[in-house]
Chains A and B, each alone.
Chain A
Amino acid sequence: MAGIVDPMNTPAPLTQWLLWAWLSGLTLLAAVLAETGQLSQHWLAPLVLGFAWLKGWVVIERYMGLRHAPHWLRASVHGWLLLVTGVLLLSFR
């Protein structure tokens, strides 16, 4: 029935906490690496854009719930993320 959400399609409480901790951890790690200047831009930009792709992947799959969505919708949003992070990576030289 349309609009009735199966609770099993949503992350369980423990998974919610783990996902939040994972996303927050990657955010803090990226900020620390940029602030301390331990990495040159040659390494920093690909790394943090990789983090952004990874975080975006988790948001799309688990938060947006597109893993349960029609393939066209899932592919559209993943395609956007891959295109944006990929092309932006090329802009750092």
Chain B
Amino acid sequence: MPADSLLLEDIPQDRHVPGDLAMWCFILAELAVFGVFFLVYGYHRWRDPALFSHGQQQLHLLLPTLNTLLLLAGSAAIVAAVRAFALNRQRSGRRWLMSTMLAGGGFLVLKAIELGGKFAAGITLSSGDFWMFYLSLTVFHFLHVVLGMVIVAAVWWQARDGRYAGAAIDGVETAAAYWHMVDLVWIVLFALIYVAR
């Protein structure tokens, strides 16, 4: 078993906030908003499980499953980017940031295809409670992926100019924290909307 084991390695005593504290306040606010959204969804599902189950049966799992894998790959890539910059491996760090953006771009394309199919089938916010939640939650999350890509792109651009060469890498950690928040929300959303039927 390697010293850096999956879950049980020793945790140093000097704790620090990964990235900018202001970003973490923003992340906690975002989680609160999504949390309320999820709980309201749960309440409505509890009241009318047949309606929600019927709607979920009409969702195909291929695209959302691929999208989950893409977001997880993006998260893994940005973890690698943080480590690369911490080791002052600039080129490697920039490549991992680019990988995160590619994964995010793939997510957006697949999500646009999925949503386009629903709109083409005449599904709107007025098509019932389930579809109202489905469209609201997935589009709201979609916008967060877009924002995450903008943040990662900004960090990548700064990294090209040597912003993180042998210096503090708060910006990279901050972008990573936001990207992981987007991933965390999708993990719950994927289970709730698509899989738990």
Partners in one complex: yes
A residues 29-53 near B (Cβ < 8 Å) are: 30-31, 33-35, 41, 44-45, 48-49, 51-52
Q: Do residues A91 and B79 form an inter-chain contact, with CB atoms below 8 A?
A: no
- How many Cβ-Cβ contacts under 8 Å join chain A to chain B? 180
Contact with B along A45-87 (1 / 0, CB 8 A): 1001101100110011111111111110100110011011101
Q: Which of B12, B43, B183, B187 contacts A91 (CB 8 A)?
A: B43
Instruction: State the Cβ distance, B21 to closest chain A Cβ, in Å.
Output: 9
Q: Do residues B18 and A23 form an inter-chain contact, with CB atoms below 8 A?
A: no
Q: Do residues A10 and B168 form an inter-chain contact, with CB atoms below 8 A?
A: no
Q: Do residues B195 and A19 form an inter-chain contact, with CB atoms below 8 A?
A: no
Known: A9-B12, A41-B197. A30 touches B191 (CB 8 A): yes
Interface majority SS (helix, strand, loop, mixed), chain B? helix
Size category of the B interface is: 35 or more
B residues 150-191 near A (Cβ < 8 Å) are: 167-170, 173, 176-177, 180-181, 183-184, 187-188, 190-191
CA distance A71 to B17 in the complex (A): 10
What chain B residues lie within 8 Å of A85 (beta carbons)?
A: 188
Q: Do residues A15 and B2 form an inter-chain contact, with CB atoms below 8 A?
A: yes
> What is the interface of chain A, defined by CB distance below 8 A to chain B?
1-16, 18-20, 22-24, 27-28, 30-31, 33-35, 41, 44-45, 48-49, 51-52, 55-56, 59-71, 73, 76-77, 80-81, 83-85, 87-88, 90-93
> What is the interface of chain B, defined by CB distance below 8 A to chain A?
2, 4-7, 11-12, 15-18, 24, 28, 31-32, 35, 38-39, 41-43, 45-46, 49, 53, 61, 65, 68-69, 72-73, 75-76, 79-80, 82-83, 85-87, 167-170, 173, 176-177, 180-181, 183-184, 187-188, 190-192, 194-197
